[in-house]
Amino acid sequence: MNAFYAKSQTPTMIKAKVEGNHGEYAVSIKLKENLLTSACSCYIGKYGGCHHCEALGIHYLQNPDSFSMKKAVKKAKVNTLETLQSYLESVTLEDLVAQLKKKGISQKAFAKSIGMSSSHLSAVKRAENRNRYFHELGATKLACVWVLEKMT
């Protein structure tokens, strides 16, 4: 099991694969700005609240030492494929698109530039937040990083 940690020793996100009756589910619980959210890849838990999310929370509270810490890599520290993977795992597509917007690049313009419709990009963002992953998620995140580095 993995947990992403902030600069303090308090986790900001815990993630795990939870074994269910119909297979393994990707589950996460996230704390952001004093708001606790959860998501699961099962059909019930797309916005959290399923028994897999509850199981992850209970397991973490009862066995916090069974989780390994994963520190988020800052973009400036990316210099190998391994650190690139760690960085992309630690940032959401939603956060990257928000960074583009702050730099004056709209979601629609970005999507068009990489041959994607804005509505499809929105679907990829929503799916990631629910632990359902489109195949192009990593490539889309990488395109965002490239644009942020080279064009802003």
Same domain membership, residue 139 and residue 114: yes
Q: pLDDT tens digits, residue range 16-33? A: 999 888 889 999 998 888
Same domain membership, residue 37 and residue 86: no
Question: How many whole angstroms separate alpha carbon 140 and alpha carbon 113?
Answer: 11
Same domain membership, residue 100 and residue 44: no
Same domain membership, residue 44 and residue 95: no
Backbone angles phi, psi at 56, to 5 degrees: -65, -45
pLDDT for res 10: 62
Same domain membership, residue 124 and residue 60: no
pLDDT < 50: residue spans in the chain: 1-8
Scan for tokens 């999507």, then name that residue: 111
Which structural domain, as residue segments, surrounds residue 116? 72-150
Same domain membership, residue 64 and residue 80: no
Contact 152, 75 (CB under 8 A): no
pLDDT for res 20: 85
SS3 letters across 16-59: EEEEECCEEEEEEEEEECCEEEEEECCCCCCCCCCHHHHHHHHH
Same domain membership, residue 16 and residue 41: yes
Same domain membership, residue 77 and residue 66: no
Pairing of strands 23-32, 68-71: unpaired
Scan for tokens 């996460």, then name that residue: 28
Pairing of strands 11-20, 23-32: antiparallel
